[in-house]
A and B are shown apart, each in its own frame.
Chain A
Amino acid sequence: MAIGNFPARLRRRDFLGVSASAIAATQFPSSTDSWAQGASTLRAGITGYNVINTLDPGKATLIPEFYVIWALYNGLMKLDANSNPVPDLAESVKADGNALEFKLRRGVKFHDGSEMTADDIKFTLERLLDDKFASPNKSKVSGLSAIEIPDPNTVRIVTKEAFAPLLTFLSNCRTGTQILSRKATTAGGDDFGKKPIGTGAYALKDWVPGERVSLAAFPGYFGGAPRIGTIDMPLIAEESSGVTALLGGQIDITSTAPFADIANLEKNAAITVLKQAGLNCRFVSLNHRKAPFDDPTFRRACSMAFDRNAMVRAVLFGEGVTSHGLIPPSIAYAYGGNTRPLCTFDPAKAKAELAKSKYPNGAEAEIMTWGQSWWKRMAEVFVAQCNQTLGTKFTVQVTEANTVFQRHKSGDYQGSVWGWLGLLDADEYMYDIVHTKGWRNFYGYSNPKVDDLLDRARRELDLAKRGALYKEAESTMIEDMPVLPLFVSNVHNLMTKKVQGFNQLPYSNWGDQFVNMSLG
C-alpha cells in the first residue's frame, strides 16, 4: 500500500478503504482475490487499449492517457452534456474584447496539499506554449498572446483576436490544458508524467505499465471527498476480453465495447449498455489535385451513389448515425442535421450528375484503406456501391494506417477512407478540415465563402450566432463536396447494475465521472 508523497490524511482514508473492502470480502467468500476488493473499489476496465506512456497532460496524446488524466486534474472549464464549456476550476468567465477573464474558484487544493493560484494557470499555459517543452497539445493554446494575473484569483487570457473555441480548449477533455501546480510540476521534472499531481478528485496510487493504473480518492478535493475510495483500472487490450471480464465479474464498467456485440449485450439483463453518437467524423477523403476527384460534379455524383444507411448497418452493425456534413450531432448548437439531398442515396440523380461531369465513363480510382477491421469494410462498401450505381472502376487498396496518413500529407493518393476522433469544437471539425489554411485539409480544398464564414465563426462568442455560421458554412461546403461524409459512430460503456452515477458524454469521457459515482 505504498502511496508515495501524499499527506497523512490520504493514507488514513486509504486504510479505511482497505478495511471496508476486507469486511466486504468476508461477506462474499468466493471473491477473496485481489481483483474483487468489495464495494469501496470501482474496477473500471480500460478496454481496447493498454498503452499509457505519460500522465502529464502537456505530453499526453493517447485516449487511455486522457481517461486517467480526467480523474487526476481539472481544467478551467469542463464540457456539459451538450458539449458546451461550463466553469470548473474557474468560478465564472467573461469576455472582454480579445481577452477572457476567469475568476478562479477559491480553496482548490493540489494533491500535495498546496493551494491553487492564478500563477499556476499562467505556468500551465506558458509551459504548453514553450517551444522547448514541445507539447503535442500546443495547438490548443496557439492563439494566445498574453496571460495576465491582475490578482491571485483572476486570470486574463489575451488572444491575438477573439477566439471562440478557446473555452472548449481550456476544458478537461482531450486538450492537455489541465491545470498543473508550478511547484509540484517543476519539482517533478522529467518524472512528472510518472508521478502526476493535479487538483482532481483522485490521485495516482499505483501504475504498472501495460497492466493497470490505480487511483485513490483525494480527500482534499474541492468538491468534497468522492464516495468510492479506490479506482482500479486494468488495461485490457482486447475489447472482447473486456466484455468477458465484465460478464465474469472481474470488472464493473468498461470504457468501450465491440460494435458487433452491442445488440446481444442489450438483451442481457445483468448489464447496462450506455450509448450515443460520439464526437467523431468519418468520410471518404478525395484528392482535389488528381483525377477524377478534381471535379466537384463527379464528387457530388459519388456522394449520391451509395447508401449511408446501409453502410451504418454493414460497417457499424447499426451503431452510429449517417453524416451529411462534418459536425457531429453532439455539438448541438452547430449540427446541420442529416437530411441533405446531396448526401442521400439517389441512383437516378447520381447518374444525372455523373453525365454532367468530366468523367462520365468508367472513371478509375484507388481508394486507400488499412487493416482488417471496419476501416476496410467502409472502403469496400463505398467502392462496391459506387461501381454498381455509376459504372466507375474504383478499387480498394489495403495498406497500413500510418502509410495512409503519410500519403495524405504528401498528396500522393486519389481517395481514402479517413476520419477524426477526439476533436471537440465545431471549429476543429470545420476550420481544420475544410478551411484553406486548415492543417487537416489534405485535399487542397479552398472556397473563399466557406473560409470567410469560418473566420467569422472563430470570432463569434455568442453560441447561437456561432452555430448559425457553422451551419451556413457546412451547407456551402457540401455543394462542393470536398469530402464524402459517411457517419458518426456511437460511443459505448458497459456497466454492471450496481454501478451508479456514470454520466456518459459524447467525447467518450471516463475518469471525470468517477467523482459522481457510487456502487449500489
Chain B
Amino acid sequence: MAWTRFVAGRLLALVLTVLVGSVVVFLVMKSAPGDPAVAALGESARPELVAVFRAKHNLDVAWPLQYGRWLSGVVQGDFGLSLTVASDRKISSLIAARLPNTIFIGLMALSIAVVLSLIAGTIAALRRGKLGDTIATSLAALGISMPDFWLSYVLILVFALGLGLFPAYGFIAPGQSMSGALYSGFLPALAVSAPLAAVFARTLRTALLEAGNKDYVVAARSFGFRPAYIFVHWVFRNALIPYITIIGLQIRYILGGVVVIERIFGVSGIGSLMVDGAFARDYPVVQACAVVFLVIVLSVNLVVDVICSLLDPKRAR
C-alpha cells in the first residue's frame, strides 16, 4: 500500500512539475525579443502579411488564452504545428522522428561513461597513490573541466580529420542502420560521456576506498581470503550503491550535453530541434521539446528513486 501511494504521489508531482515548467518556458519564450512572423516571413515582410501570420497561428490573442489553447491540444496529444522551423508540419511527427536519435546518443553516452568509469575508478582505487591512480584522477579532472563543445572539435580534429577513423559530420538513424548508428554516433556519444565518466569514476574510487577500509574487509583479510575474492564480494558490491545513485542523478546532464553536441555533429535530434526553435522563435516547438525533456528527466528521477528505495528500503518511508 505504501508502495502505490509512493509511486502515485511521485506521478502527481511529475504532472504538476511539467505543468509549471511549461508555463515558465512559455513565459520566457514570450518575453524574449523577436517575432516568429519576422523569422518566418523575412525582414522585409509587409505588415498585412505579418497580421495574417499572427492570426493564423493564434499569436494575436492574450497569452493566457494562447497557453490555454496550447495546453488543451497537448492534453489531447496534439502539440500543434510548427511556425518557423518546419512551417505547417506536425510537431508531434517532428519529435517522433528525432527523439529516437537523441535517446540513442544518450544511451550510448551513458554506456561509454559506465564502461570508462568502471575501469578508471577501479584502477584508481586499487593503485591508490601510485601512477595508475594519478593518471585516472587527472583524466577525471580533465573530463569534468573540459567544455563539451571544445572536446567535440578536438575529437573531430583527431579522430575524423586526422586519423580518418570516424565521419566528421552526420548521423545515421538507428532505424536505418544499427551498425551505421553505432559508428556515426560514437564521437558525439564520447563527447557527451566525458564529464559523466569523470564524475562516475571519482565516485566509484571514493566508494571503493571507503568500502575497502570497513571492519568486515579487515576481518576477511585476516581470515586469509584471496584479495580478488574480497574485492569482488565485499568491496565492489558495497561500493555499487553510491555508484548507481550517482549515475541516476547525473543522467539529466546527458540531455544538456546532447543539445550542444547535436548541432556540432549534425545529429538530427530533439536537442537541435529545440535550439533551432528557440533561434527562430518557434514557440510551440520549444514548448513541446521542453515538455518532452521535462517528462524524460522527471521519469528518470522517478525510476532512480524507485530503484534506490528497492536497494535501501529505509528511503521509501
Binds A, one of B13-21, B62-70, B165-173: B165-173
Q: Enumerate B160-188 residues with CB–CB distance to A below 8 Å.
A: 160-161, 164, 167-170, 172, 176-177, 180, 183-184
Task: Kindly state whether residue B40 has any CB partner on chain A within 8 Å.
Answer: yes
**Residues of chain B lying within 8 A (CB to CB) of residue A138:** 46
**Residues of chain B lying within 8 A (CB to CB) of residue A54:** 87
**Residues of chain A lying within 8 A (CB to CB) of residue B184:** 33
**Residues of chain A lying within 8 A (CB to CB) of residue B45:** 61, 136
**Residues of chain A lying within 8 A (CB to CB) of residue B38:** 402, 405
The answer to whether A209 touches B49 (Cβ under 8 A) is no
Q: Enumerate A56-83 residues with CB–CB distance to B below 8 Å.
A: 61-62
Q: Kindly provide the distance from the CB of A76 to the nearest chain B CB, expressed in whole angstroms.
A: 23
Task: Kindly state whether residue A446 has any CB partner on chain B within 8 Å.
Answer: no
Binds A, one of B120-128, B240-248, B265-273: B265-273
Binds B, one of A103-111, A244-252, A477-485: A244-252
The answer to whether B43 touches A236 (Cβ under 8 A) is no
- Cα A440 to Cα B44 in complex, Å, equals 9
Task: Kindly state whether residue B259 has any CB partner on chain A within 8 Å.
Answer: no
Task: Kindly state whether residue A348 has any CB partner on chain B within 8 Å.
Answer: no
- Whether A210 touches B268, Cβ cut-off 8 Å, given contacts A61-B45, A134-B52, A136-B41, is yes
- Cα A409 to Cα B114 in complex, Å, equals 56
Task: Kindly state whether residue A403 has any CB partner on chain B within 8 Å.
Answer: yes
Q: Enumerate A133-169 residues with CB–CB distance to B below 8 Å.
A: 134, 136, 138
Task: Kindly state whether residue B85 has any CB partner on chain A within 8 Å.
Answer: yes
- Cα A272 to Cα B272 in complex, Å, equals 30
Q: Enumerate A224-249 residues with CB–CB distance to B below 8 Å.
A: 234, 236-238, 241-242, 244-245, 247-249
Residues of B within 8 Å of A, CB-based: how many?
48
Cross-interface CB contact of B266 among A190, A234, A247, A405, cutoff 8 Å: A234
Q: Kindly provide the distance from the CB of A254 to the nearest chain B CB, expressed in whole angstroms.
A: 11
The answer to whether B169 touches A244 (Cβ under 8 A) is yes
- Cα A244 to Cα B162 in complex, Å, equals 11
The answer to whether A62 touches B42 (Cβ under 8 A) is yes
Q: Enumerate B70-85 residues with CB–CB distance to A below 8 Å.
A: 82, 84-85
**Residues of chain B lying within 8 A (CB to CB) of residue A405:** 38, 43
Q: Enumerate B26-41 residues with CB–CB distance to A below 8 Å.
A: 33-35, 38-41
**Residues of chain B lying within 8 A (CB to CB) of residue A236:** 169, 266
Cross-interface CB contact of A241 among B172, B177, B264, B268, cutoff 8 Å: B264
Task: Kindly state whether residue A513 has any CB partner on chain B within 8 Å.
Answer: no
- Whether A61 touches B160, Cβ cut-off 8 Å, given contacts A34-B177, A210-B94, is no
The answer to whether B167 touches A35 (Cβ under 8 A) is yes
Task: Kindly state whether residue B97 has any CB partner on chain A within 8 Å.
Answer: yes
Residue-wise interface mask of B (243-287) relative to A, using a CB-CB cutoff of 8 A (1 in contact, 0 not): 000000000000000000001111010001101100010000000
Q: Kindly provide the distance from the CB of A191 to the nearest chain B CB, expressed in whole angstroms.
A: 9
Cross-interface CB contact of A250 among B42, B82, B168, B276, cutoff 8 Å: B168
What 7 pairs across the A-B complex have the smallest Cβ distances? A248-B168, A209-B86, A245-B169, A61-B42, A53-B87, A244-B168, A211-B268
What is A's interface to B at a CB cutoff of 8 Å? 33-35, 50-51, 53-54, 61-62, 134, 136, 138, 190, 208-211, 234, 236-238, 241-242, 244-245, 247-251, 399-403, 405, 440
Task: With A35-B170, A400-B34 given, name 6 new contacts (CB 8 A).
Answer: A34-B176, A51-B280, A209-B89, A238-B264, A241-B265, A247-B161
Q: Could you list 21 A-B pairs, sorted by A, with CB under 8 Å?
A: A33-B183, A33-B184, A35-B170, A51-B84, A51-B86, A53-B40, A53-B84, A53-B87, A54-B87, A136-B41, A210-B268, A238-B263, A241-B263, A241-B264, A244-B168, A245-B266, A248-B160, A249-B167, A402-B38, A403-B34, A405-B38
